Each structure stands twice: as structure tokens, then as C-alpha cells.
Amino acid sequence: MKWITRERPKIDRLACPWLIKRFIDPEAEFFFVPAVEVLNKSKEMGAIPFDIPHVEYSHFEEKVTFDYFLKKHQLSDPALNKLAVIIRGADTDRHDLAPEVAGLYAITLGLSHNIKDDYKLLEIGCILYDALYSWAKELTEVRHLAGSPFEKMLHEVYVKFLKTNKINSPAWVNEVKALIQDQLDAQYNIELQKLSEELNLNSTYISREFPRYFDNLNFGKYIQNARIQKAKDLFTQPEYSLSEIAYLTGFSDQSHFTRVFKQITGENPSTFRKKLLKSKAYSKK
């Protein structure tokens, strides 16, 4: 099969050929041409166009072309699904989707800047995605410090001596904390884009810097934790049912609230609440 897309491939247009080669058609050929020539050239060459508007293999809903390939060819490998989130985040500038998004974005843009031959770029890109796929399939639990006494010693020094020194936070950090708290209290949806607009800061910059000042959590995880902490505070008020607490903390329904609460705490909200109320009653005796 022949495939054709726009020249100067980056994130999605490197990921899709890699996916085709590794999981759909090992003998596939790829062609890169100026955007305005893709459709005409595809007819001349009998090649399938991808990652351009108004063709089958392209972005859909909030997803990217890589997602469409997975759906179309019924590829359900969990490692590919993990890659899809990272690729989607990097290709749509949604760096809050996964911690790895910013890294993929930076590396692919750097490769495109340094390598002017699109076919050489594809060759290197396939090596990159081979590595990322191996990580997603087998190495996500591996930590850099494991098995490295020297690195472990440096980490211990950092924890003991350096981490205790307060990092000077930029002004926007306190503003973000205040805005998040205000919107949590009002049960509004909290979106990174809206916060960035209120602060007049680039959302990509905030997303990239966010973990540094917010407990090493990305934006989405931090908001989830904040909602769960608010729920814990409300547990001490018996007049609120679990459904009401779910609403007051910004969850779509009690089922969603229960699922997230269990993911974060390891317990169902009802069990956690009973233990909390019991411990408070005992402490008053």
C-alpha cells in the first residue's frame, strides 16, 4: 500500500507511518509532498492520503489521525492506547493529558528542525516510536534510581538537604491556586485554557511548569486530588449525602465520584466516611 501526506512530518505524521509499518502493512510506502499537492498526487500515484482535512484518515472529534488508525484497524493493544494519549496531547497542544506529552513534543520538533530530509526524519522517527512503544508496553514501572547506588545517594542528599529549601514560585502560581480554590468552592468546571486566559499566560507554559509547583502532579491530577480533598472535608457534615458531595465537588455523578475517589484513596467513599466519622466520635470521648 502507498500512503501520502504533507511534507515536513512531525508528531502525528511520524507516528502514523510507524504504526502502519509495525502493525498494519510492513511493506507500506510513504510519500511527503506540499500540502496543496497531496490530493492530486494521491490520485496520480494511487496512494491513500492521511492527516489532512477532508479525507478518511484524519483528525476526528477531539482525537488525531493516530487515534483513527487504531479505531479503523481495530488495534486494541493497551500500549498503543497509552501512546495514543501522548501523541494526541502533543499534536493538539494539550500537555495536561499525560506527563510524557511535553517530552514527545520537544523531541519531534527538535528532530524536524535538525533533519531536513523527510524520509530520513521518518527513519529516525520510527526509532523514536519503537522506543516509546517499548516503554509503554514493558517499562512504565521502571524508575531511574532503581539499581543505581550513586543516583540513589544523590536523591537522598536532595531529599535531606535541598528539598527542604523553599522554591521561589513565580507570581502566577499563587494566582492559579487562588483561582482553582475559587472555582472549586463555586463548583465550576476548572479548565487549564480558562485559567491561562485569566492570567494572560500561555497554557502550554503553565502545563509544562505546573508539576514543579504543585506536588509534582500534572494539572488534571492536581484538580482531581483537590476535589477529593474537598470531599473529605464535606464527609464530616452528616447533612450531605454522597450524591450531594459528588455534585458539590464538581463530579458528573456519584458513580464518577466513587471511581475517582477509590483510585486516589484505595477505598470507597462510604467506607472512608464511616471510618472518618467513627474516628472523630472516638476522639471526642
pLDDT at position 237 over 80: yes
**Higher pLDDT, residue 8 or 216:** 8
Q: Across all residues in the chain, what is the average pLDDT? A: 84
Say how far apart CA 25 and CA 182 lie, in whole Å.
Answer: 52
pLDDT at position 67 over 90: yes
> The pTM is what?
0.55
Paired with 2 in beta bridges are 29
**pLDDT value at position 157?**
59
Q: Which cell numbers in the block locate residue 26?
A: 510492513
**Higher pLDDT, residue 271 or 277:** 271
pLDDT band for 104, please (50, 70, 90 cuts). very high
pLDDT band for 285, please (50, 70, 90 cuts). very low
Q: What is the CATH number of domain 171-283?
A: 1.10.10.60
Say how far apart CA 200 and CA 249 lie, in whole Å.
Answer: 26
Angle of the 219-234 helix axis to the 254-265 helix axis, nearest 10:
100
**pLDDT value at position 45?**
96
Positive/negative CA dihedral, 113, 114, 119, 123: negative
CB 90 within 8 A of CB 100: no
Report the Cα 252 to chain-centroid distance in Å: 21
pLDDT band for 146, please (50, 70, 90 cuts). low
Return the domain boundaries, the chain: 2-139, 171-283
**pLDDT value at position 282?**
46
pLDDT band for 199, please (50, 70, 90 cuts). confident
Q: What is the largest CA-CA distance in the chain?
A: 85
